[in-house]
């Protein structure tokens, strides 16, 4: 039975992790020659492993080399005296968080000031990963008040005279509007956004659910002063400073006739506003479109058969009831008189979705958006920008963020065809960059990664919903070979949800590793685990699956192997993985997992495609999803709060974890008092042990990032996991 479900993503506070294709984006590809040589050196003496390499290795060096050479020769450089060119892997074109959240999109958002330290956010992160009040925006530190109900209120005073890129003045209304619009109950269903708004605000539930049209968390004091109140249920919170990070949105860009109530707690139509006939028609048409869309989506849901389980029937009835209620509400709006405020709110939302997210015409950062065409985002200096919290102000007239083939990125950098290539992590390419540095052609910055590469699962559907299957897969791959082949001497195998640069790992990593399972290639162990899963039968669903039969079938004809495991319903153990076509990690997995999996009775298939396609399958899966494993990479924000990703109520829970122990541990971790560092570290260790056992992802590696830049780039002397070229841009100059 197909069920369409949309899961929200926690954009508030930057708690959400940004995603890249594992081995793609900031993780660029390794050369085929280097991979094959190192793979051979790292092979174990296990008989099955040698067969695997013989039967799955593909020699594509010649074709790929010829393609890369041609692309390099035909590359049209965009660099000029007044233009900095930043090379990038794929970006989605969503320049506002809430739909897709690639690390490459974030680079552009930070240059525009939509995210990061260069815009109007009240609290920002410096190069050391510390949260600070944004002195470029605020008049002093925000005042805090502890209320009798246990909530906490922050009072922000905005500096007068700050302007958006179109010359309009920044006011308190822009901050409050951001909270009211993106937390509004209609925003997510209308736009398909996965941004739930201000989750930590007082009164969130009643406002976000539509029970009230006022949001108690916000209050307007005057044009340059407002307050934000954190709900008592969200406190204590270990990274409490992050909760005071409030964003501004240029209200005037998406609505001319909406206003705030006098106290700023609700959106209202301006006095005297009456919608025109054309506006009424557009509003009614939009409602009808929503009704039609809801009906079409429900038609895709298959009604369970008479012999379906009670749970399936119950799920269908709940889905039907929810759809009927939604249609009834929309029909009531369609048949009734138009509420001017509702009409204006909806139009503002649609303006955000249809226009601003792909064409952010008005921003608060050092650069303004010009165009996105031909895989290039073109930006130019914002004449109204008054500088960042360090008192620095960008001077380079133009920036182009340009998609480039990662296989030729280092060559383009060495040739001066691009100026910056960030976060290289593949060993062979790093060696090449270092050679160019020794030759005086480029400069290099190096830092430990605040993230990790992984194989991510959907844990609530398909065969990967079973922990034993996930653990078995971890025993069907040689992670050491992956890391050596991909990262060379610049990466290490990881066993938990951490990155090398995280302060928790630096303080407790050595202690933690001894408490975690270090998953090694071991087909016997994989079979033992699968024997504990539902997939322990032959095709008839009754006869026990036999390892000796599998060995005999594999030795006789590995390519034609067909002795797989089944459950008692006769359903085959199949795992389908989707990975980036540009990723060497995808290729490495394809060279090991399908063949090794056969020896454990598992059919394992690897498909490669574009990163946006991966995100679509991963973020919005069907109930009977074809793909339930994804090669990905995660970058952490400075606010480490895995509640968002692994709590059953978490709004960035892409792996669909629903485990009481995870719920307990993630709440325990986030609600550690801010002044109790040792307790936080103890809680962190306990969470890592859960993660290592439950295995919603198989962690593969964390590594050293190397960022290269041409010699004409000056001022790029600060580069950390929290601080890239997009953050340092105010200090960068071109020779």
Class (C level, CATH) for 451-704: alpha beta
Sort residue 440 into left (φ over 0), alpha (ψ -120 to 50) or beta.
Answer: left
**Taking a C-beta distance cutoff of 8 angstroms, is the pair 156, 246 a contact?**
yes
pLDDT value of position 54: 31
Kindly report, residue by residue over 640-649, the tens digit of the pLDDT.
999 999 999 9
Q: Which residue has the tokens 């919608």?
A: 275
| In the predicted structure, residue 12 carries a pLDDT above the cut 90 | no
What band does 66 get if pLDDT is binned at 50, 70 and 90?
confident
Task: Determine how many CB atoms are found less than 10 A away from the CB of residue 626.
Answer: 13
Kindly report, residue by residue over 361-374, the tens digit of the pLDDT.
999 999 999 999 99
Closest CA relative to residue 249, chosen from 210, 320, 197, 190: 197
Is residue 138 classed as helix, strand or coil in its secondary structure? Answer: strand
> From CA 239, how far away is CA 163, in angstroms rounded?
30
143 contact partners, CB below 8 Å, separation of at least 6: 154, 155
Higher pLDDT, 194 or 3: 194
pLDDT value of position 21: 53
What band does 313 get if pLDDT is binned at 50, 70 and 90?
confident
**Torsion angle of C-alpha atoms 96, 102, 107, 111, degrees rounded to 10:** 0
Task: Determine how many CB atoms are found less than 10 A away from the CB of residue 210.
Answer: 11
Kindly report, residue by residue over 680-707, the tens digit of the pLDDT.
999 999 999 999 999 999 999 999 999 9
Side-chain half-sphere of 139: how many Cα atoms within 13 Å?
12
pLDDT value of position 90: 85
| In the predicted structure, residue 279 carries a pLDDT above the cut 90 | no
pLDDT value of position 35: 27
Q: Tell me what the mean pLDDT of segment 601-613 comes to.
A: 93
The fold of the 120-269 domain, in CATH, is Dipeptide-binding Protein; domain 1 (3.90.76)
Is residue 469 classed as helix, strand or coil in its secondary structure? Answer: helix
459 contact partners, CB below 8 Å, separation of at least 6: 465, 470, 655, 656, 657, 658, 694, 696
Q: Distance between alpha carbon 317 and the CA centroid of its chain, in Å?
A: 32
Q: Tell me what the mean pLDDT of segment 438-450 comes to.
A: 96
pLDDT value of position 463: 98
| In the predicted structure, residue 662 carries a pLDDT above the cut 90 | yes
Higher pLDDT, 613 or 392: 392
Domain boundaries, the chain: 86-90+367-448+712-734, 120-269, 277-304+311-337, 451-704
Tokens of 186: 């209609």
Q: What is the mean pLDDT of the chain?
A: 90
pLDDT value of position 30: 22
| In the predicted structure, residue 238 carries a pLDDT above the cut 70 | yes
Q: Tell me what the mean pLDDT of segment 275-302 comes to.
A: 88
Q: Tell me what the mean pLDDT of segment 72-80 comes to.
A: 85
pLDDT value of position 58: 40
pLDDT value of position 3: 32
pLDDT value of position 458: 98
pLDDT value of position 22: 53
| In the predicted structure, residue 148 carries a pLDDT above the cut 70 | yes
Q: Tell me what the mean pLDDT of segment 457-481 comes to.
A: 97
What band does 62 get if pLDDT is binned at 50, 70 and 90?
low
> From CA 666, how far away is CA 655, in angstroms rounded?
15
Kindly report, residue by residue over 500-516, the tens digit of the pLDDT.
999 999 999 999 999 99
Q: Tell me what the mean pLDDT of segment 171-187 comes to.
A: 97
């Amino acid at each position: 039975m197909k069920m369409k479900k949309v899961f929200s993503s926690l954009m508030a506070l930057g708690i959400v992790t940004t995603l890249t294709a594992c081995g793609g984006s900031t993780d660029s590809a390794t050369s085929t020659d280097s991979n094959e040589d190192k793979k051979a050196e790292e092979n174990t003496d296990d008989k099955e492993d040698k067969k695997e390499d013989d039967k799955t290795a593909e020699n594509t060096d010649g074709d790929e080399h010829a393609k890369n050479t041609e692309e390099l020769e035909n590359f049209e450089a965009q660099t000029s005296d007044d233009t900095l060119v930043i090379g990038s892997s794929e970006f989605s074109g969503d320049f506002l968080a809430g739909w897709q959240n690639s690390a490459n999109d974030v680079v552009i958002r930070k240059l525009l000031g939509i995210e990061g330290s260069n815009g109007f956010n009240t609290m920002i992160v410096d190069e050391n990963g510390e949260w600070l009040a944004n002195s470029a925006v605020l008049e002093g530190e925000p005042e805090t008040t502890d209320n009798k109900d246990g909530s906490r209120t922050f009072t922000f005073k905005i500096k007068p005279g700050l302007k958006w890129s179109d010359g309009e003045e920044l006011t308190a209304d822009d901050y409050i509007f951001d909270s009211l619009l993106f937390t509004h109950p209609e925003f997510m269903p209308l736009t398909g956004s996965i941004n739930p708004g201000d989750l930590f605000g007082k009164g969130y539930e009643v406002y976000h659910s539509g029970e009230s049209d006022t949001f108690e968390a916000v209050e307007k004091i005057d044009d340059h002063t407002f307050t934000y109140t954190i709900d008592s249920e969200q406190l204590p919170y270990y990274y409490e400073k992050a909760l005071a990070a409030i964003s501004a949105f240029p209200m005037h860009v998406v609505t001319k006739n909406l206003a705030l109530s006098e106290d700023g707690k609700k959106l209202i139509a301006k006095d005297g506003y009456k919608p025109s006939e054309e506006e009424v028609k557009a509003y009614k048409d939009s409602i009808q479109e929503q009704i039609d869309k809801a009906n079409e989506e429900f038609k895709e849901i298959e009604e369970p058969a008479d012999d379906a389980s009670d749970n399936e029937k119950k799920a269908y009835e709940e889905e039907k009831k929810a759809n009927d209620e939604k249609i009834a509400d929309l029909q009531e709006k369609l048949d009734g008189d138009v509420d001017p405020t509702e009409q204006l709110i909806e139009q503002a939302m649609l303006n955000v979705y249809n226009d601003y997210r792909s064409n952010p015409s008005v921003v608060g950062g050092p650069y303004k958006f010009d165009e996105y065409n031909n895989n290039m985002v073109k930006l130019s200096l914002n004449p109204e920008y008054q500088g960042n919290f360090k008192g620095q102000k960008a001077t380079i007239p133009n920036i182009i963020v340009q998609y480039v083939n990662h296989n030729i990125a280092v060559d383009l950098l060495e040739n001066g065809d691009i100026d910056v290539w960030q976060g290289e992590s593949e060993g062979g390419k790093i060696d090449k960059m270092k050679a160019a540095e020794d030759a005086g052609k480029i400069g290099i910055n190096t830092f430990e990664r605040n993230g990790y590469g992984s194989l991510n699962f959907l844990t609530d559907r398909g065969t990967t919903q079973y922990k034993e299957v996930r653990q078995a897969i971890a025993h069907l791959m040689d992670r050491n070979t992956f890391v050596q082949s991909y990262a060379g001497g610049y990466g290490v195998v990881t066993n938990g949800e951490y990155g090398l640069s995280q302060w928790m790992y630096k303080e407790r990593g050595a202690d933690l590793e001894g408490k975690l399972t270090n998953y090694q290639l071991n087909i016997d162990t994989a079979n033992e685990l699968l024997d504990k899963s539902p997939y322990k039968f032959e095709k008839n669903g009754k006869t026990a699956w036999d390892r000796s039969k599998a060995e005999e079938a594999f030795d006789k004809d590995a390519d034609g192997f067909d002795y797989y495991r089944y459950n008692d319903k006769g359903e085959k153990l199949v795992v389908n993985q989707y990975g980036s076509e540009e990723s060497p990690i995808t290729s490495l997995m394809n060279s090991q997992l399908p063949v090794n999996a056969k020896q454990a009775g598992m059919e394992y298939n690897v498909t490669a495609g574009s990163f946006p396609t991966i995100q679509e399958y991963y973020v919005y899966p069907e109930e009977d999803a074809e793909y339930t494993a994804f090669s990905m990479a995660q970058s952490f924000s400075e606010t480490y709060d895995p509640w968002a990703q692994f709590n059953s109520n978490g709004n960035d829970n892409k792996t669909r974890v629903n485990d009481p122990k995870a719920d307990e541990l993630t709440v325990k971790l986030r609600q550690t008092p801010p002044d109790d560092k040792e307790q936080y570290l103890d809680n962190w260790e306990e969470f890592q042990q859960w993660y290592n056992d439950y295995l919603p992802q198989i962690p593969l590696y964390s590594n050293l990032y190397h960022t290269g830049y041409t010699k004409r780039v000056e001022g790029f002397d600060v580069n950390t996991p929290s601080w890239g070229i997009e953050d340092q841009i105010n200090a960068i100059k071109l020779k």
